[in-house]
Amino acid sequence: MSMAKKDRKKDDWDTGVVIAPMNGDELPKYRRMAYMNMKKRPTKEERQMHKDMYTPKERRAIMRAGLLVMLPRLLLIVIGFAVAVLIIWLWLK
């Protein structure tokens, strides 16, 4: 006798109604790819192809530009923590 044909005893509260379907549509796109078992990461050959697209000098320039863009934000965060520590120190003094 298979499971489909066999009558399963249900609890009194279990009506079989689906409240929240868990089919992966509610997930963000990056999680949905992993949930749907799709290709998430490029192959080694594709990664090597992208790596060879730039010379080492160009890669360093790209990294330097990215860090220079993030530097003001990092400084604002550090200054914000310093101000918070200073206010707490003055308050507890």
Q: Does 88 map to a domain? A: yes
Higher pLDDT, 75 or 53: 75
Encoded tokens for 67: 């860090």
The answer, as to whether pTM is greater than 0.95, is: no
Contact status, residue 1 vs residue 8, Cβ threshold 8 Å: no
The pLDDT tens digits for 78-91 are: 999 999 999 999 99
Tokens 């550090």 -> residue: 78
Give tens-digit pLDDT for 7-43.
667 677 777 777 776 666 666 666 666 666 556 677 7
Residue 46, in any domain of the structure? yes
Checking if the pLDDT of 54 tops 80, the result is yes
Range of the domain at 54: 29-92
Number of domain units in the chain: 1
